[in-house]
A and B are shown apart, each in its own frame.
Chain A
Amino acid sequence: MECAEAREHLSDLNRGHLEAGTAEAVRAHVGQCASCAAALQREAEVRALIQARAPRYPAPPALRSRIQAAMAQDAFGGPGWRALLRSHPWTVGSLAGAIAVLLLVWGGTLWMARDPVSRLAAQAVAEHVEYAKEMMNRPIPDPPALVKELRSQVDFSFEPIFRGDSQVQLVAGLVSDLLGKRAAAFVYRDGSGRYTTLFLMPEAGTTIPAENRMPIETFKPHHRVTSGRHLLLWKQRDLACLLISDLDEAEMAAMFLKIRKAA
């Protein structure tokens, strides 16, 4: 056995993870190689030191409570787990009240909205609100690289996306999940700190409602207001596109045109 091969196995030898035959061969090599013997000793010393001296950080009780509650909610099948997990520290004692509030306020939007587009809108707005909370405020340094990476993470292709301009910056791109469908999400922020999120996902199964169409130049996306945010929904080739914004209606229409024309 050569040094390089022996050294690959030193850690496993120390941990007792090697098969008998391999362990024997490594030991035989170490027995006649001072350098590998020193390396083996070093492996054991550093491992022992880390096991004995590296600080362990136990999870804070409040975090445990939040996660316990979220898991319980999920097992129960309620929709409130997401908001529950996201909101800040709650103790177990206040959980019952919190759940009640969630069901009434937040959960109501999700649960009572029976049609798919309403549920899609409610989930997308919830995602949008979370992105805004993340305080993303720096432009993406390399949009083409981001787009390339996102394309590799979703199972559909999409056209060039709007990369921002002097008024609005592209601040994030991430994989999202809407009604069980994987979506690509692009987050924009304007100079006043208002966010706009564009979701792209396969159009299959998404019906764009015929009512409430907003004429914007030659386009007519479906328009609605969900939880105080304007929302536009349209199809583009084989994709369903969803735009949610903190902007007002006219500003949102302008933003829609930038996005629509970039593709």
Chain B
Amino acid sequence: MSDAKTPLPAEALNHLDALYNLARWLARDPTEAEDLVQETYLRAIRAAHQFQPGTNLRAWLFQILRNTFFTRYKRKGREPEVMDPEVLDRMSTLEGPTGVENRLAGPQDGTAGLDLTAALKRLPEAYRSVVLLADVEDFSMGEIARIMDCPVGTVKSRLFRARAILKELLRDYVS
């Protein structure tokens, strides 16, 4: 299991709040978020020998968190997505109205009065994570690409689309 000669660097603990914060946005409730973070550190401790000193420990931990999130959902046979990212990927975002408002708005609520938390939670996980990693954690596009295991171009387009969707959802706040 863990390589006793390679303990997890002590500074890993400095990133606990940030990891827990993302976990709260990924998991359904605080207990699940705690379990997710706990398992993330467990895996990091186990895999500490794979971490290369001098590389980005923070990004490495976030990568483990996200992988753990998916493994847990698969293990439980649950579906983490709120919306199908492929549907969103097909939406036009470059010119004119995005049309996302109609697609995202639930039966009882329009965009007015929707708060930021609710808006973020309505994004698919892949979009929500990109926004949080970029704007809250201030990761570079390259770091996010590594964390999310996708090309940098995908990260950029998801971030662009996520912001377009959020702006639609939050029109009253932003404009």
Contacts and interface: CB of A to CB of B under 8 A. Distances in A.
Given A42-B174, A56-B21, A11 B160 contact: yes
Contacts of A39: 160, 164
A4 B157 CA distance: 10
Contact of A10 (B1, B37, B42, B160): B160
B160 A7 contact: yes
Nearest to B15: A59
A85 B44 CA distance: 12
B17 A59 contact: yes
Contacts of B117: 54-55
Contacts of B45: 70-71, 74, 81, 85
Given A3-B94, A59-B17, A63-B20, A42 B167 contact: yes
B91 interface: no
A11 B159 contact: yes
Main secondary structure of the interface of B (DSSP, over half): helix
Contacts of A54: 116-117, 120, 132, 135-136
B109 interface: no
A177 B163 contact: no
Contact of A49 (B19, B21, B173): B173
Interface residues of B, number: 55
B65 interface: no
Contacts of B159: 11
B24 interface: yes
Contact of A59 (B16, B157, B166): B16
A239 B95 CA distance: 56
Given A11-B134, A141-B77, A174 B71 contact: yes
B20 A35 contact: no
A59 B20 contact: yes
Interface in B153-175: 153, 156-157, 159-160, 163-164, 166-167, 170, 173-174
11 contacts: A8-B153, A15-B138, A39-B160, A43-B163, A45-B174, A46-B166, A57-B21, A71-B45, A77-B4, A85-B42, A86-B38
Interface of A: 3-4, 7-8, 10-12, 15, 17, 35, 39, 42-43, 45-47, 49-51, 53-60, 63-64, 66-68, 70-71, 74-75, 77, 81-82, 85-86, 123, 134, 136, 138-141, 146, 171-172, 174, 177-180
